[in-house]
Amino acid sequence: MKRKILWLVLAAVLVALAGCGGGSDRPVLETTIASDLNVDGDIFEPLNGDPRIVAQGSTVLTGVTSTGEYRGFLSFPLNAIPLDAFIHSATLTFTLVPPTDDIPLEMELVSFQPSSGLLPSYYEEGLTVYASSLYTLPAPNAFNQVSFNVTSLMREAQRRGFDDFQLRVLENRDFNVQGLVELSESNLTPPKLVVVYD
Protein backbone atom coordinates (compact mmCIF):
# COMPACT_ATOMS: atom_id res chain seq x y z
CA MET A 1 0.00 0.00 0.00
CA LYS A 2 2.82 2.39 0.93
CA ARG A 3 4.55 1.60 -2.34
CA LYS A 4 1.38 2.42 -4.31
CA ILE A 5 1.03 5.77 -2.49
CA LEU A 6 4.68 6.58 -3.21
CA TRP A 7 4.17 5.85 -6.89
CA LEU A 8 1.10 8.09 -6.99
CA VAL A 9 2.96 10.91 -5.27
CA LEU A 10 5.89 10.53 -7.70
CA ALA A 11 3.54 10.57 -10.68
CA ALA A 12 1.84 13.74 -9.39
CA VAL A 13 5.21 15.46 -8.93
CA LEU A 14 6.30 14.53 -12.47
CA VAL A 15 3.06 15.87 -13.95
CA ALA A 16 3.47 19.12 -12.00
CA LEU A 17 7.07 19.52 -13.15
CA ALA A 18 6.08 18.89 -16.77
CA GLY A 19 3.59 21.74 -16.58
CA CYS A 20 6.13 24.25 -15.27
CA GLY A 21 7.85 24.79 -18.62
CA GLY A 22 5.54 27.68 -19.47
CA GLY A 23 6.07 27.83 -23.23
CA SER A 24 8.35 27.16 -26.15
CA ASP A 25 11.96 26.09 -25.72
CA ARG A 26 12.85 28.04 -28.86
CA PRO A 27 14.94 31.20 -28.44
CA VAL A 28 13.33 34.60 -28.88
CA LEU A 29 14.56 36.12 -32.14
CA GLU A 30 14.35 39.56 -33.73
CA THR A 31 14.40 40.18 -37.45
CA THR A 32 14.18 43.34 -39.52
CA ILE A 33 12.39 43.15 -42.86
CA ALA A 34 12.62 45.94 -45.43
CA SER A 35 9.53 46.56 -47.49
CA ASP A 36 9.45 45.41 -51.11
CA LEU A 37 10.08 48.64 -53.01
CA ASN A 38 8.96 46.94 -56.23
CA VAL A 39 5.49 46.42 -54.74
CA ASP A 40 5.03 49.53 -52.56
CA GLY A 41 3.19 52.48 -54.02
CA ASP A 42 0.09 54.64 -53.79
CA ILE A 43 -3.24 54.99 -55.54
CA PHE A 44 -4.85 58.39 -56.12
CA GLU A 45 -8.62 58.79 -56.54
CA PRO A 46 -9.47 62.20 -58.05
CA LEU A 47 -12.56 64.05 -56.83
CA ASN A 48 -13.56 64.91 -60.40
CA GLY A 49 -14.27 61.29 -61.28
CA ASP A 50 -11.20 60.70 -63.44
CA PRO A 51 -9.71 57.19 -63.35
CA ARG A 52 -7.60 56.26 -60.34
CA ILE A 53 -3.85 56.65 -60.76
CA VAL A 54 -1.32 54.06 -59.53
CA ALA A 55 2.16 55.40 -58.76
CA GLN A 56 5.31 53.60 -57.63
CA GLY A 57 8.48 55.57 -57.09
CA SER A 58 10.71 57.21 -54.52
CA THR A 59 7.84 58.04 -52.14
CA VAL A 60 4.47 56.70 -51.02
CA LEU A 61 1.71 59.25 -50.41
CA THR A 62 -1.19 58.98 -47.97
CA GLY A 63 -3.83 61.61 -47.28
CA VAL A 64 -6.37 64.01 -48.75
CA THR A 65 -5.84 67.07 -50.94
CA SER A 66 -8.21 69.52 -52.60
CA THR A 67 -8.18 67.35 -55.72
CA GLY A 68 -8.57 63.84 -54.26
CA GLU A 69 -7.24 61.19 -51.89
CA TYR A 70 -4.06 59.10 -51.81
CA ARG A 71 -3.84 55.67 -50.20
CA GLY A 72 -0.45 54.07 -49.66
CA PHE A 73 0.52 50.40 -49.88
CA LEU A 74 3.41 48.62 -48.16
CA SER A 75 4.43 44.99 -48.58
CA PHE A 76 6.89 43.02 -46.42
CA PRO A 77 7.89 39.44 -47.36
CA LEU A 78 7.51 37.08 -44.41
CA ASN A 79 9.68 34.19 -45.65
CA ALA A 80 12.09 34.78 -42.73
CA ILE A 81 9.34 34.15 -40.14
CA PRO A 82 8.34 30.49 -39.56
CA LEU A 83 4.64 29.80 -40.00
CA ASP A 84 4.41 28.35 -36.49
CA ALA A 85 6.18 31.31 -34.84
CA PHE A 86 4.62 33.14 -31.93
CA ILE A 87 4.74 36.89 -32.55
CA HIS A 88 5.81 38.81 -29.43
CA SER A 89 5.83 42.21 -31.11
CA ALA A 90 5.96 43.93 -34.48
CA THR A 91 7.00 47.53 -35.07
CA LEU A 92 6.69 49.42 -38.35
CA THR A 93 9.14 52.28 -38.91
CA PHE A 94 9.27 54.57 -41.89
CA THR A 95 11.06 57.77 -42.78
CA LEU A 96 8.96 60.84 -43.50
CA VAL A 97 9.77 63.23 -46.30
CA PRO A 98 9.29 66.75 -44.88
CA PRO A 99 7.06 68.64 -44.92
CA THR A 100 4.54 66.07 -43.68
CA ASP A 101 1.15 67.00 -42.27
CA ASP A 102 -0.14 65.82 -38.92
CA ILE A 103 -3.07 63.66 -40.02
CA PRO A 104 -4.60 60.63 -38.25
CA LEU A 105 -3.78 57.36 -39.99
CA GLU A 106 -5.54 54.06 -40.45
CA MET A 107 -3.60 50.93 -41.36
CA GLU A 108 -5.49 48.02 -42.84
CA LEU A 109 -4.19 44.46 -43.19
CA VAL A 110 -4.84 43.36 -46.77
CA SER A 111 -3.51 40.65 -49.05
CA PHE A 112 -2.73 40.59 -52.75
CA GLN A 113 -0.27 38.89 -55.07
CA PRO A 114 2.91 41.00 -55.26
CA SER A 115 3.49 39.78 -58.81
CA SER A 116 0.25 41.41 -59.95
CA GLY A 117 1.42 44.84 -58.86
CA LEU A 118 -0.98 47.47 -57.55
CA LEU A 119 -4.33 47.61 -59.28
CA PRO A 120 -6.62 50.68 -59.25
CA SER A 121 -9.35 48.64 -57.54
CA TYR A 122 -7.07 48.11 -54.52
CA TYR A 123 -7.90 51.68 -53.51
CA GLU A 124 -11.18 50.37 -52.06
CA GLU A 125 -13.36 47.56 -53.37
CA GLY A 126 -10.67 45.24 -54.76
CA LEU A 127 -9.27 44.10 -51.41
CA THR A 128 -10.57 42.41 -48.28
CA VAL A 129 -9.64 44.13 -45.02
CA TYR A 130 -8.69 41.46 -42.44
CA ALA A 131 -7.90 43.82 -39.56
CA SER A 132 -7.23 47.51 -39.02
CA SER A 133 -5.73 49.86 -36.45
CA LEU A 134 -5.89 53.62 -35.92
CA TYR A 135 -2.80 55.72 -35.23
CA THR A 136 -1.83 59.25 -34.38
CA LEU A 137 1.20 60.34 -36.33
CA PRO A 138 3.94 60.79 -33.70
CA ALA A 139 6.58 63.49 -33.81
CA PRO A 140 9.49 62.19 -35.91
CA ASN A 141 12.90 61.63 -34.35
CA ALA A 142 16.07 63.40 -35.46
CA PHE A 143 16.21 61.16 -38.55
CA ASN A 144 12.58 61.97 -39.54
CA GLN A 145 11.55 58.43 -38.58
CA VAL A 146 8.27 57.44 -36.95
CA SER A 147 7.34 54.04 -35.49
CA PHE A 148 4.03 52.25 -34.96
CA ASN A 149 3.08 49.16 -32.97
CA VAL A 150 1.51 46.80 -35.52
CA THR A 151 1.62 43.65 -33.39
CA SER A 152 -2.10 42.90 -33.67
CA LEU A 153 -1.99 43.24 -37.46
CA MET A 154 1.13 41.06 -37.73
CA ARG A 155 -0.40 38.37 -35.52
CA GLU A 156 -3.46 38.27 -37.76
CA ALA A 157 -1.28 37.95 -40.86
CA GLN A 158 0.62 35.11 -39.16
CA ARG A 159 -2.61 33.42 -38.06
CA ARG A 160 -3.86 33.47 -41.63
CA GLY A 161 -0.56 32.15 -43.02
CA PHE A 162 0.04 35.12 -45.33
CA ASP A 163 3.29 35.06 -47.30
CA ASP A 164 3.53 38.85 -47.06
CA PHE A 165 2.57 41.45 -44.47
CA GLN A 166 0.70 44.00 -46.57
CA LEU A 167 -0.85 47.25 -45.41
CA ARG A 168 -3.14 49.81 -46.99
CA VAL A 169 -2.39 53.14 -45.27
CA LEU A 170 -4.98 55.91 -45.44
CA GLU A 171 -6.31 58.89 -43.57
CA ASN A 172 -8.59 57.81 -40.72
CA ARG A 173 -12.09 57.73 -42.24
CA ASP A 174 -13.53 59.45 -39.16
CA PHE A 175 -11.70 62.65 -40.11
CA ASN A 176 -11.96 64.90 -43.12
CA VAL A 177 -8.85 67.06 -43.05
CA GLN A 178 -6.54 67.94 -45.88
CA GLY A 179 -2.91 66.93 -45.61
CA LEU A 180 -0.36 64.45 -46.89
CA VAL A 181 2.05 62.05 -45.27
CA GLU A 182 4.94 61.23 -47.58
CA LEU A 183 6.96 58.07 -46.87
CA SER A 184 10.47 57.60 -48.21
CA GLU A 185 10.96 54.65 -50.53
CA SER A 186 14.69 55.03 -51.12
CA ASN A 187 17.02 52.06 -50.86
CA LEU A 188 18.74 53.78 -47.93
CA THR A 189 15.53 54.47 -45.95
CA PRO A 190 12.88 51.92 -46.91
CA PRO A 191 9.98 51.22 -44.55
CA LYS A 192 11.06 48.52 -42.08
CA LEU A 193 9.20 45.93 -40.06
CA VAL A 194 10.91 44.67 -36.88
CA VAL A 195 9.41 41.39 -35.64
CA VAL A 196 10.22 39.71 -32.32
CA TYR A 197 9.13 36.06 -32.24
CA ASP A 198 9.92 32.57 -31.07
Short-list 23, 81, 77, CA closest to 197: 81
| pLDDT bracket for residue 25 (50, 70, 90) | confident
Question: What local confidence, expressed as pLDDT, does residue 9 receive?
Answer: 43
Indicate the pTM of the whole model.
Answer: 0.86
Across the range 69-97, mean pLDDT stands at: 97
Across-strand partners of 96? Answer: 183
Question: What local confidence, expressed as pLDDT, does residue 24 receive?
Answer: 59
Of residues 26 and 198, which shows the higher confidence score? 198
Interval 85-115: pLDDT, tens: 999 999 999 999 999 999 999 999 999 999 9
Q: What is the mean pLDDT of the chain?
A: 90
Confirm if 73 and 43 have CB atoms less than 8 A apart: yes
Interval 99-158: pLDDT, tens: 999 999 999 999 999 998 999 999 999 999 999 999 999 999 999 999 999 999 999 999
Question: What local confidence, expressed as pLDDT, does residue 19 receive?
Answer: 44
Short-list 72, 81, 2, 13, CA closest to 37: 72
Question: What local confidence, expressed as pLDDT, does residue 176 receive?
Answer: 85
Question: What local confidence, expressed as pLDDT, does residue 6 receive?
Answer: 42
How many of the other CB atoms lie within 10 Å of CB of 6?
10
Question: What local confidence, expressed as pLDDT, does residue 26 receive?
Answer: 82
Confirm if 13 and 91 have CB atoms less than 8 A apart: no
